Amino acid sequence: MTTAAGDPRARAVARSAARADVARAVLWVMMAGWAALLSWLSIARHQAFSTGRFDLGNMVQAVWSTAHGRPLETTDVAGRQFTRLGAHVDPVLAVFAPLYRLWPAPESLLVAQALIVALGALPAFWLGRRWLGDDRLALAVSAIYLLYPPLMWATATEFHPVTLAAPLLLFCIWAAEERRLVLLTVLAVAAALTKEQVGLALAVLGVWMFVRGSRSYGGALAALSAAWVAFAVFVVIPHYNDGEGSAFVARYDALGDGAGGIAAGVLSQPWTALEVAATPSRAGYLAALLLPLALLPLAAPLLAAAAAPAILLNVLSSWWPQQSIEFQYVAVIVPFLVAASILGLARLRRATRPELLRVALARPGPLAAVMVVWVGVSGVVLGPLPWYSELPLGAQSRADQYVQTQHSRAQAAGVALIPGGAVVSAGNQLGAHLSARRRIYAFPVVQDAEWVIVDRRRPFIADRLSPALHRAHVRDLLADRAFRRVYDRDGVLVLHRAARAAPR
């Protein structure tokens, strides 16, 4: 009688289980290391005064207000107190209020973001194992998710609730593939609450499910997701914005008036949209999305199409950061391109022609190594890691934003003079450190501010650099006898409103 120890089948099962255990351990080490690295980078960037009132400060104020009984209340760019839902429908921010109570600092949001985004490596691994059938390739695609330059930028640059859509949507794709529909419903709702536009991607995911056989659920997901987007844009935002639509619609004025007019314009005059989109910078943006993934998403076009609504919103916008991979606008795109690259690779490995390609993709070990090296090299050119600046293709500007300098120390000293809770008017990068309060105005809005802090070396008007206009407003402020100068160092200026004389 053959013992279990001597049974070849039992030994093979044991070896397979051991390899799976090793793969899981490696995966968790990768995720923990990445989360620690991106937490450190985002905190270093904040402490170097490279973050802004727009957007980290906005999120801090919304979370702080929620923790103090005023759900999602913020001060807008004109100095008006309003609920953030009048700008973006991202109520998931409220979930972070208990965390902010425990750790009342912007760093808490930055660390939480890195930890949550890192979890997206789990569904990437599970999809890789399912579609590619090899743990080495599954680990490789998990590494690709973590090292993909757009995702690293979105995580390192400020805090945005929509960035959390990246792991949530990747979990949605995995749940859809596994037909775990109850879990998918929960995940889809959570993703939809990170920003109003996420429902567009979920609608296309529903179409993908419909085509793959889940007709009832896929159709319902597509219809309900599209309906949610319409409700958020045409009902929720106007309700919390004094009856007005989203201010961000102005970025698409070349296509029409208002959200409805823009949609009608794109459908009735597509050549106008094509003229807006057909520029070298936008072509470079698309290349930066696809080349780190070796164009693999193109081999799974229907799944990749779920990224199309976000890509279209970005390339048709007049706001240049939307055509850069260095901002949160890529967050909804990332999960679908990564998942499509996994599925696309699986299809190419099953292809019988050309023979050379089939043979090249047949060996999991070397293929996994090449994939990771490729996305790693793309990060040297495109990614946010400061050490890449020392390499031949690296950009020095990436390293500068993480370094504390004499100027950032002057900024910190000026910020330290502002009492907690005082009404303040602040420049953009200074405001990121002063937003945990009821009212904070974006300079040059002053209104009833007790304190004003500006940086003449970084002359922001709200979130735009405008040196001439900034100089004019600072000159007017210095001439205002209601304020006295209490700090002036390396371009950082702090003024305090003089106490009014008591009536006799």
How does pLDDT run across 181-234, given as a tens digit for each residue? 999 999 999 999 999 999 999 999 999 999 999 999 999 999 999 999 999 999
Q: How far apart are CA 454 and CA 467, in angstroms?
A: 12
Identify the burial level of 69 via C-beta atoms within 10 angstroms of its C-beta, where 0-12 means exposed, 13-18 middle and 19 or more buried: exposed
| Distances from the Cα of 303 to the Cα of 195, 419, 429, angstroms | 21, 51, 39
Query: Does the structure show a pLDDT above 90 at 17?
Result: no
Residue 21's pLDDT is what? Answer: 86
Q: What percent of the chain has pLDDT over 70?
A: 94
**Helix, strand or coil, per DSSP, at residue 357:** helix
Band (389; pLDDT cuts 50, 70, 90): low
Residue 391's pLDDT is what? Answer: 53
Q: What is the pLDDT of residues 20-41, one digit of tens each?
A: 889 999 999 999 999 999 999 9
Maximum Cα–Cα distance for the chain, whole Å?
108
**Helix, strand or coil, per DSSP, at residue 319:** coil
Answer whether 203's CB lies under 8 Å from 222's CB: yes
Written as one string, the DSSP assignment of 399-434 is: HHTT---HHHHHHHHHHHTSPTT--EEE-HHHHTTS
Give bridge partners of residue 440 from the DSSP assignment: 424
Q: How far apart are CA 139 and CA 136, in angstroms?
A: 5
Q: How far apart are CA 360 and CA 213, in angstroms?
A: 32
Q: How far apart are CA 315 and CA 139, in angstroms?
A: 32
Query: Does the structure show a pLDDT above 60 at 394?
Result: no
Query: Does the structure show a pLDDT above 70 at 1?
Result: no
Identify the burial level of 377 via C-beta atoms within 10 angstroms of its C-beta, where 0-12 means exposed, 13-18 middle and 19 or more buried: middle
Q: How far apart are CA 313 and CA 204, in angstroms?
A: 15
Q: How far apart are CA 385 and CA 369, in angstroms?
A: 21
Residue 356's pLDDT is what? Answer: 63
Mean pLDDT of the region 282-295:
96
Answer whether 56's CB lies under 8 Å from 159's CB: yes
Q: What is the pLDDT of residues 67-83, one digit of tens each?
A: 999 999 999 999 999 99
Q: What is the pLDDT of residues 309-342, one digit of tens each?
A: 999 999 999 999 999 999 999 999 999 999 999 9
Residue 400's pLDDT is what? Answer: 85
Mean pLDDT of the region 471-497:
96
Answer whether 400's CB lies under 8 Å from 172's CB: no
Residue in 454, 327, 402 with CA at minimum distance from that of residue 50: 402
Q: How far apart are CA 425 and CA 448, in angstroms?
A: 9
Residue 22's pLDDT is what? Answer: 92
369: amino acid identity, one letter: A
Taking the whole predicted model, whether its pTM rises above 0.85 is answered as yes
Give the CA dihedral 111, 112, 114, 115, nearest 10 degrees: 120
Mean pLDDT of the region 158-175:
98
Band (293; pLDDT cuts 50, 70, 90): very high
